[in-house]
Amino acid sequence: MALTAVLRLPARALLRPWALLRGVALGRTEAAAGIRNGARRFGSQHVLVEPAAAAGVAVMKLRNPPVNSLSLELLTELVISLEKLENDKVFRGVILTSDCPSVFSSGLDLRELCGRNPARYAEFWKAVQEMWLRFYLSNLVLVAAINGACPAGGCLLSLTCDYRVLADNPKYLMGLNETLLGIVAPFWFKDSIMNTIGHRATEQALQLGSLLPPAEALQVGMVDQVVPEDQLLSTALSVMAKWLAVPDHARQLTKSMIRQATADRLLKQRDADIQNFVSFISKDAIQKSLQTYLEKLKQKKG
């Protein structure tokens, strides 16, 4: 089944994502390993999910080398993986991290934003919306263990989590840098960061497209904790234990009370938001700006 077809499936059809994962992207080796070890472990091409040492906790790893750019495929697999965990009564919390060295996620895949046709842009943007809505409103406790650079869409993904722990490395810059690419973060990106760091800090961070090193990200409240890299996972697990000590139903209703209004702003105008995106991204000037940025990235090495 094509990934595009999966995206078009009604939510009901995703209630049994085991089957979809098997049909779409489950690596045979991993499936076999999962059965052999008797572990509740599953994987898709770009997302690896395994149980953590703590009961009820899964570790979800992004693995889209080299830089975990958020392609249509990765976004789709993230949503399916989360839904599978939500439907499995065993899991109450997820630690979201990266399987790629030194990068949590480089943000939206720039190749999805350049040179595509309007239908593909629309399909991609719908998947970005879906990822944000599902992660932002998840009933599970989500803790981001940020083990690498975290720009733009990568930062957005981390902002959907309930708590962010960042590894202390000066190269691990974090923020919504869209303006530096000549593009504009949509209102729900802005809402996500404003709900996290406040109005004034957002005015600066978003207009300047700031990518902050760990100490500054902590100071502004973009992350909740900065720890040495070798303590990242253990810290995330300790944080998770604290959150899981709270009865689920009370925590979930509280989370929903705080977040639903923000999500509703997008839910009420999803189609208009897609149209805005398609028309904005299709402009010649925006395409030129993105192409130039992508070229600069590629030339950086040389």
Ligand X SMILES: CCCCC/C=C\C/C=C\CCC/C=C/C(=O)SCCNC(=O)CCNC(=O)[C@H](O)C(C)(C)COP(=O)(O)OP(=O)(O)OC[C@H]1O[C@@H](n2cnc3c(N)ncnc32)[C@H](O)[C@@H]1OP(=O)(O)O
Binding site for ligand X (CB under 6 A): 66-67, 69, 102-103, 106-111, 149, 151-153, 177-178, 181, 183-184, 186, 276-277, 280-281, 297-298, 300-301
- CB of 146 within 8 A of CB of 174? yes
DSSP β-bridge partners for residue 285: none
Dihedrals phi, psi of 16, to nearest 5 degrees = -120, 65
Catalytic position from the list 107, 153, 154, 209: 153
Q: How far is the CB of 154 from ligand X (least distance, A)?
A: 7
> How far apart, in whole angstroms, are the C-alpha atoms of residue 212 and residue 133?
25
Give the pair of three-digit tokens for residue 184.
């504009």
203 is catalytic: no
Structure tokens at 100: 């790629």
Q: Pairing relation of β-strands 225-227 and 57-62?
A: unpaired
Whether 73 is catalytic? no
Provide, rounded to whole angstroms, the least separation between the CB of residue 68 and ligand X: 8
Q: Is 302 a catalytic residue?
A: no
- The two structure tokens encoding residue 116: 């595509």
- Closer by beta carbon to ligand X, 34 or else 209: 209
Given the residues 108, 140, 156, 232, select the one marked as catalytic: 108
Q: Which of 239, 216, 209, 227 is nearest to 96 (CA)?
A: 239
Q: Is 153 in the active site?
A: yes
Least separation in angstroms between residue 157's CB and ligand X is 9
- List 107, 154, 178, 209, catalytic entry: 178
Instruction: Pick the catalytic residue from 48, 154, 177, 233.
Output: 177
Active-site positions read 108, 153, 177-178
